[in-house]
Structure 1
């Protein structure tokens, strides 16, 4: 074997890249401001889950109409799609802490009014619309503030922790919501949701420090919200890297479809061992459970560069298991496939981190608001198309087709992403080293 000169071999210390540091969940939780944001998020999300069940019960009790109940539930999707891109700019125009506080206090006030017994149905719908609409600037402000609270890889690990928390709280909220409402009644449940927003505001006051507004106007004090919305759209969709990352985020329109037709699929899987409602609950919990596992492992044990390299493969993993539903597997196999699909959904953590790296801090609120509104739109559209198609062809082929379409789009995005990820990985490494 030929001798190798010192310092020139493959294993030379001079050429070996030092291992990338991995941030632990304990390091993230030790950050006081993150704890305040995290605690407020848990409280408000748990209250929202309880309020969704309470509203469904309340509206059905008042109207005895399934259509009216579904219409009020649909109001939770409509406001962010319509008003999100416009109101999200508030997070870039005013101090983000102040935006979050104002939204929490206003939502608490609106919910207190909703909790008044005998509220007319039309007024109830209007109040629901306003409560959900205020969630758009709040979410944009929190999403834009988090990279300032957690820098570098702490942001990804913190996002993973929030993702895990969201999924766990959603499952818990829906699981215990019915029992709580049966005990308290729908009006007291709405009052309880009001208190969660007040507690969230208190956590922000106590734990999040004041920061100046990230964006200043041109000097005349008349920068319009429409101008900021157009500027945000140009920022997001005028950059090739950001367009690709947004497409990765909106890929969920394909793999969210199965949850929207879980009830008819449960009826197809019913073999007498379990009831249709129980099967439906298992199906709807499968993907969130997989996402909890995937986000925990992906955020804790994979290096920052490794997440960005594996993002495309995980995106394809979210859709590939759904294709096998065409073989009409039994319930146990379907649950395993859907859990695996949820594990792949952890790619959204890497996409989110890359998005933060590419967006200027002053425009993050508007950018996050636009992406979030589109996210809700594609989810609603995917569920709607899936429901119409399942009515005609049955749930199994529709879910399989959604998997094929999503897998094809994910493969194309992965090829586009290959050209951009090197630059973003270099930026991530530079941030971590700094």
Structure 2
């Protein structure tokens, strides 16, 4: 699939018993992976710019942390309504085609949002639809990646995508405030629409056609959704891995109240939009560092053993905000939290190994939908609490709750590993 020269495919073994170390260079050499990687980064950059514009605009108009958090949460909550159901499209139809269709429709929807004079309620409805379409797109992409990358190459490719995606988020958030001040929100939305078109073009030219994974007899969408739920939640290990993924609802919460938090931290040296962008960029920056260190220097067999500790680290630094520290300390704490979030790489790799290839899209769709839902709910709850308590104690409380939850999950995971069968070689390697 486009590997350079005649080197062996990443993820295989040189000889029996000798594990092969996969490099970033070999993964990047795969043409289809590059297409998935570039397309995701392009559309994500536009999304981050639009999110910053939305957060700053709403807070400027309302001055309400609750309103700001509620609109920000609107980019998460549609997954509750239709995510699990729509994700099954990527198992019923060719995954490349699903991704292309979602990109083109989202480009049209966001392009409509960029037209001046669109009523606010219509903008909210369009945002809802755009996010709703992210469910089948993300499910198709997640299910396709293990077909492009095998074995430990999947872990390295996931780490590379995670690092670059978080880097793009960091860039979008950090520069978003300054760009919005010069180009305005409508131009930012138009740019976001263009990134979806660019992503579709990259996928069409760089990813080869594959037939649909489902067989000739295709069950109904409801049946597929119910079957996916039984698959994901019927296994103790899969259930625990899913809960590890959903733990991000605690450490993502601060992003939803970044604008009001920035207003509290502003001392006149930096504009509030710039502080907002810095706060929203802090965790993605930490995740870039954590993903690189975790995938590059942690031996493969230790990744799952360290997963619980890393999950605790993803929430523990947030507790320092209870002391109302200055901006530099808050940024450092949020960067450290992002480093801990790299545990998601191990959870993701283990999850892939347990799910049959023909049902990956539905399984990933359920997980991604829940992921978006817990983040959206957490952000709304955080905004509601920040209205009454202020942003600092709310972030600290989220950190405390996350640490307790991560510790419980770590104990459950250790018990399940000790009593059950061992993970497949690629998951523990």
Shorter-chain TM-score tier: 0.7 to 0.9
| Structure 2 residue 141 is the aligned partner of structure 1 residue 145 | no
Single out whichever of 151-160 and 380-389 deviates more from structure 2: 380-389
Which protein has the larger Cα radius of gyration, Structure 1 or Structure 2?
Answer: 1
1:347 maps to which of 337, 343, 350: 343
1:427 maps to which of 417, 424, 427: 424
Return closer, same or farther for 1:267/1:357 CA change in 2, 3 Å cut-off.
same
Equivalent in the alignment of 2:45 = 46
Unaligned runs of 5+ in 1: 1-16
2: CA distance, partners of 1:71 / 1:82: 16
2:250 maps to which of 240, 251, 254: 254
Return closer, same or farther for 1:140/1:58 CA change in 2, 3 Å cut-off.
same
Equivalent in the alignment of 1:13 = none
Return closer, same or farther for 1:39/1:243 CA change in 2, 3 Å cut-off.
same
Return closer, same or farther for 1:366/1:424 CA change in 2, 3 Å cut-off.
farther
2: CA distance, partners of 1:264 / 1:153: 42
2: CA distance, partners of 1:129 / 1:228: 24
2: CA distance, partners of 1:35 / 1:197: 16
1: CA distance, partners of 2:174 / 2:35: 26
2: CA distance, partners of 1:112 / 1:324: 41
Unaligned runs of 5+ in 2: 1-15
2: CA distance, partners of 1:337 / 1:264: 18
Report the TM-score when normalising by structure 1: 0.84
| Structure 2 residue 283 is the aligned partner of structure 1 residue 284 | no
Return closer, same or farther for 1:265/1:96 CA change in 2, 3 Å cut-off.
same
The structural deviation recorded for 1:311 is: 0.7
2:223 maps to which of 204, 222, 227: 227
Equivalent in the alignment of 1:335 = 331
Return closer, same or farther for 1:265/1:411 CA change in 2, 3 Å cut-off.
same
The answer on whether the counterparts of 1:298 and 1:346 sit within 8 Å (CA) in structure 2 is: yes
Equivalent in the alignment of 2:9 = none
2: CA distance, partners of 1:225 / 1:309: 37
The answer on whether the counterparts of 2:322 and 2:393 sit within 8 Å (CA) in structure 1 is: yes
1: CA distance, partners of 2:109 / 2:323: 49
Equivalent in the alignment of 1:211 = 210
Return closer, same or farther for 1:205/1:342 CA change in 2, 3 Å cut-off.
same
How many corresponding residue pairs?
411
Equivalent in the alignment of 1:312 = 308
Backbone CA RMSD of aligned residues: 3.1
Secondary structure, aligned partner of 1:346: helix
The structural deviation recorded for 1:350 is: 0.5
Secondary structure, aligned partner of 1:345: helix
Single out whichever of 20-29 and 98-107 deviates more from structure 2: 20-29
Q: Please give the per-residue CA displacement for 1:339-369, whole angstroms capped at 9, x wherever unaligned.
A: 2211111000100111101111111111111
Report the TM-score when normalising by structure 2: 0.85
2: CA distance, partners of 1:69 / 1:254: 18
The structural deviation recorded for 1:152 is: 0.9
| Structure 2 residue 238 is the aligned partner of structure 1 residue 239 | no
2: CA distance, partners of 1:65 / 1:397: 22
Equivalent in the alignment of 2:360 = 364
**Mapping 1:30-429, distance limit 5 Å:** 30-53=29-52, 73-180=72-179, 186-216=185-215, 219=217, 223-266=219-262, 269=265, 277-421=273-417, 426-429=423-426
1: CA distance, partners of 2:211 / 2:94: 5
Q: Please give the per-residue CA displacement for 1:75-112, whole angstroms capped at 9, x wherever unaligned.
A: 32232221111100001111111111111122223334
Equivalent in the alignment of 2:4 = none
Secondary structure, aligned partner of 1:76: coil
Secondary structure, aligned partner of 2:424: helix
